[in-house]
Amino acid sequence: MDPLVQALSLYRRRRYDKCVEVCGAILEKQPLDQAVWYLKMRAMTQRVYVDDLDSEEIPETDFLEDNAVATAPRPGTSMKTAVQPPTTALASRPRTATGRPVSGVARPGTQTRPGSALDRLKTARPITGQSARVIRLGTAAMLSQKEGPFIQVSRLNLSKYAKDPNLSKALFEYLFYHEGDIRNALELAVHATQSCEFKDWWWKVALSQCYVGLNMVRDAEQQLRSALKQHQHVEIFIRLSRIYQRLDQPLSAVDICKSGLEAFPKDVSIMTELARLHEAVHDTAPSIRFYRSIVIEDAMNTEAIASIGMYHFYNNQPELALRYYRRVLAMGAHSPELYNNLGLCCLYAQQLDLIYPCFQRALELAIDPLVKAEIWYNLSYVALTAGDVQLAVQCLNLCLSADASHAPALNNLAVLYHKTGKTNVAKAYLTSASTVDPNLPEPQINLEILLKD
Torsion of CA 432, 438, 441, 444, to 10 degrees: 50
pLDDT score recorded for residue 352: 87
- At position 309, the amino acid (one-letter code) is G
Phi, psi of 33 (to 5 degrees): -75, 105
Give the Cα separation of 230 and 77 in Å (integer). Answer: 29
Q: Closest Cα to residue 336, out of 313, 370, 302? A: 370
Rounded-to-integer distance, Cα 380 and Cα 169, Å? 55
Structural contact between residues 35 and 4, judged by C-beta atoms closer than 8 angstroms: yes
The residue among 145 and 302 whose pLDDT is bigger is 302
Q: Looking at the predicted structure, is the pLDDT value of residue 141 above 60? A: no
Mean pLDDT for the chain overall: 82
For the segment 372-406, what is each residue's pLDDT rounded down to a tens digit?
999 999 999 999 998 899 999 999 999 999 999 99
Q: What is the pLDDT of residues 269-321, one digit of tens each?
A: 999 999 999 998 889 999 999 999 999 999 999 999 999 999 999 999 999 99
Average pLDDT, stretch 4-23? 93
Asked whether the predicted pLDDT for residue 371 surpasses 60, the reply is yes
Written as one letter, the residue type at 430 is L
Which of the four pLDDT bands, split at 50, 70 and 90, describes residue 439? confident
For domain 387-453, give the CATH number: 1.25.40.10
Residues of the chain with CATH 1.25.40.10: 387-453
Q: Could you give the angle at the alpha carbon of 92 between the alpha carbons of 79 and 447, nearest 5°?
A: 110
CA distance 316 to 333: 24
- Can you list the pairs that 152-156 forms with residues at least 24 positions away whose Cβ atoms lie under 8 Å? 153/179, 153/181, 153/184, 156/184
Q: Which has the closest alpha carbon to 373: 402, 352, 336, 350?
A: 402
Q: By percentage, how much of the chain surpasses pLDDT 70?
A: 78
pLDDT band, very low/low/confident/very high, at 333 (cuts 50, 70, 90): confident
What are the pLDDT digits (tens) for 199-242? 999 999 999 999 998 989 999 999 999 999 999 999 999 999 99
